[in-house]
């Protein structure tokens, strides 16, 4: 009965996905913060192990600042970073708790960043738009999960300038698998899109480095564009590259002009690729058609 209602009533489907998106958005906030911390701790341990095994170093890993309990996406429970107050269930309701608490910790009254409810809302809005656009279908479900992955990648790259393989690579392969059944494009376009997406930015990277002796972007950007190419096909890559470059240039110049960003500090390109990729996922066909009509 519920499945039939979701299939037949688009408004009910979209509303349900919106509520689910709010809940997932709360989890995305955890992923965005904890995943880079987990990487850094693992890399630190690997470095100490390498030094001990290969150089007989006597350096001992300082575990005094390491948490006594497991640190992953599930544990420990969320707490206030200032006073350590454990966030209770009613304080963790997406958006509503933020408003009810008046954007402050219930214990120490430290302001809570507006970023948390914004990510929850973004997660819900993008998922709802995917449901509205694709309907009750495999493409709709896949697009929703890709939207959540792109939000996580964009925010992690913005915070740390890392684009984790743990998110990119599974979704890259998922895009190819989905297109075995022509979910978004044919399998030939998907595979060529993955290869062309990676090699296009790889070529730009090495050409820029050859001319300026500087690195203009990271390898994570190549993989992210390969992911988008695997999902949507090589035909969408020009629009994604042009739009992401345009948005990146406008935002980057604006930040510098308004002194919100120093010239020598690199600006991550991943968020702009993610924005352009999501737009292409929903409106890429219309954008390509308009472009072809314009040049003809």
Q: What is the mean pLDDT of residues 200-219?
A: 84
Assess contact for 233 and 192: CB atoms under 8 A: yes
Q: How confident is the model at residue 290 (pLDDT cuts 50, 70, 90)?
A: confident
> CA 284 to CA 175: how far, in whole Å?
16
Q: What is the mean pLDDT of residues 211-220?
A: 81
> CA 263 to CA 255: how far, in whole Å?
9
Q: How confident is the model at residue 285 (pLDDT cuts 50, 70, 90)?
A: confident
**pLDDT tops 90 at residue 140:** yes
Percent of the chain's residues with pLDDT above 70: 91
Assess contact for 194 and 229: CB atoms under 8 A: yes
User: What is the pTM for the complete model shown?
Assistant: 0.89
Q: Which residue has the tokens 């219309």?
A: 286
**pLDDT tops 90 at residue 180:** yes
**pLDDT tops 70 at residue 268:** yes
Instruction: Select from 117, 133, 158, 156 the least CA-distant residue to 25.
Output: 117
**pLDDT tops 70 at residue 245:** yes
> CA 137 to CA 1: how far, in whole Å?
17
CB-CB neighbours of 70 under 10 Å: 8
Q: What is the mean pLDDT of residues 182-202?
A: 96
- Cis-peptide, bond into residue 76, ω within 30° of zero: yes
């Amino acid at each position: 009965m519920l499945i039939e209602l979701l299939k037949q009533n688009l408004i009910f489907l979209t509303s349900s996905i919106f509520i689910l998106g709010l809940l997932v958005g709360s989890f995305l906030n955890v992923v965005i913060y904890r995943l880079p911390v987990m990487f850094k701790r693992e890399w630190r341990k690997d470095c100490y192990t390498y030094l001990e095994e290969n150089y007989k170093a006597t350096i001992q890993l300082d575990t005094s600042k390491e948490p006594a309990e497991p640190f992953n996406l599930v544990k420990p429970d969320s707490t206030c970073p200032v006073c350590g107050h454990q966030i209770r269930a009613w304080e963790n309701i997406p958006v509503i708790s933020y408003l009810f608490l008046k954007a402050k910790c219930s214990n120490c009254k430290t302001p809570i960043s507006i970023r948390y409810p914004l990510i929850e809302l973004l997660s819900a809005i993008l998922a709802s738009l995917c449901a509205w656009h694709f309907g009750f279908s495999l493409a709709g479900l896949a697009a929703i999960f890709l939207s959540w992955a792109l939000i996580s990648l964009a925010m992690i790259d913005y915070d740390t300038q890392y684009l984790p393989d743990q998110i990119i690579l599974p979704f890259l392969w998922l895009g190819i698998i989905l297109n075995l059944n022509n979910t978004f494009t044919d399998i030939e376009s998907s595979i060529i899109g993955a290869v062309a997406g990676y090699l296009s930015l790889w070529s730009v990277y090495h050409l820029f480095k050859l001319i300026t002796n500087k690195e203009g972007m990271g390898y994570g950007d190549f993989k992210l564009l390969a992911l988008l190419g695997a999902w949507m096909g090589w035909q969408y890559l020009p629009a994604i590259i042009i739009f992401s470059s345009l948005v990146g240039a406008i935002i980057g110049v604006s930040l510098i002009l308004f002194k919100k960003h120093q010239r020598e500090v690199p600006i991550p390109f991943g968020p702009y690729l993610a924005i352009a990729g999501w737009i292409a996922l929903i409106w890429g066909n219309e954008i390509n058609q308009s472009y072809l009509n314009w040049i003809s």
